[in-house]
Amino acid sequence: MGNIFSWLNEPATFSGNADGLSLTTREKTDFWQRTFYGFERDNGHAYLTPVSGDFTASVTVCGDYQQLYDQAGLMLRIDQCNWIKTGIEYTDGLMHFSVVVTNSTSDWSVIPLHGSSKDDEVSVRLTRHGDAVRVQFSINGAAWQLARLAPFSTADASVGIMACSPERGGFEAVFREFSVGPAIARSLHD
C-alpha cells in the first residue's frame, strides 16, 4: 500500500506525519454534499495516501471537541462526490461516533457515546472488502464495535486522517498510529 501522503486542504497549523500528527483547523471547514442542508462543502482537512483493492486503515484520535460538529477521524476518498468520513463528531453537547457516506449526496449516521469525554482515545477502523466498507470503533482500547457496513465503489482511492470544524476555526486534534495494510478477515461476528 502507498506511504506517500499529501494534504487535501492543508490545516491552519500541523506538525508530525501519519505516525503522529497534530493539527489545528481553519475556519468553517467541512465535507458535505447537498442532502438536507442544501450546500456543498469540500474544504475539510485530509492527509491522504493512495489505496487500491481491499485494505484496512486505522488511527487513534483525541480532539478538543467544543463546538457543534467539531470532528476528527478517517476519510476514504475517490473524489469530491464519492467519499466516506468517520470518527468522532461533537453534536448536541456530546461526542458521537459518526459516519457519512457520500455517493453524490451525503448521508449521516451517529452513535451517541454517553459517558465519553474528550480525554478518551477513540480508535477508528475502516475496511474495504470489494464493494463494501466496514466502519468500526474502539474507545480506550475496548473491543471493536461495528458502526456501519456500507456499499462503496471499488475504484482506486485515497485514505487517511480527516478533521473539520464547520462552525469555527481552531479545533485541535491529535492522531497517532495511523496504519493501512491488508484487509482484516471478513467475519463480522467474532
Spatial separation of the C-alpha atoms in residues 61 and 21, rounded to whole Å: 10
Beta strand segments in 26-121, E: 31-33, 40-42, 45-51, 55-63, 71-79, 82-91, 94-103, 105-106, 109-112
Q: Hey, what's the cell of 187?
A: 467475519
What pLDDT is recorded for position 1? 43
The answer to whether the CB of 140 falls within 8 A of the CB of 121 is yes
Biggest CA-to-CA distance, the chain: 42
| Domain 6-177 = CATH 2.40.50.140 | no
Spatial separation of the C-alpha atoms in residues 133 and 177, rounded to whole Å: 21
**Domain parsing of the chain, residue ranges:** 6-177
DSSP state at residue 34? S
DSSP state at residue 115? T
Measured CA angle at 141 (ends 68, 101), to 5 deg: 45
What pLDDT is recorded for position 30? 97
Spatial separation of the C-alpha atoms in residues 7 and 46, rounded to whole Å: 6
pLDDT digits (tens, 9 = 90+) for 53-73: 999 999 999 999 999 999 999
Spatial separation of the C-alpha atoms in residues 131 and 36, rounded to whole Å: 26
What pLDDT is recorded for position 68? 95
What pLDDT is recorded for position 190? 61
pTM of the full structure? 0.95
User: Chain centroid to CA 140: how far?
Assistant: 17
Spatial separation of the C-alpha atoms in residues 79 and 76, rounded to whole Å: 9
What pLDDT is recorded for position 2? 46
Spatial separation of the C-alpha atoms in residues 17 and 36, rounded to whole Å: 35
What pLDDT is recorded for position 39? 77
pLDDT tens track, the chain, 190 positions:
447 999 999 999 999 998 999 999 999 999 999 887 777 899 999 999 999 999 999 999 999 999 999 999 999 999 999 999 999 999 999 999 999 999 999 999 999 999 888 889 999 999 999 999 999 999 999 999 999 999 999 999 999 999 999 999 999 999 999 999 999 998 877 6
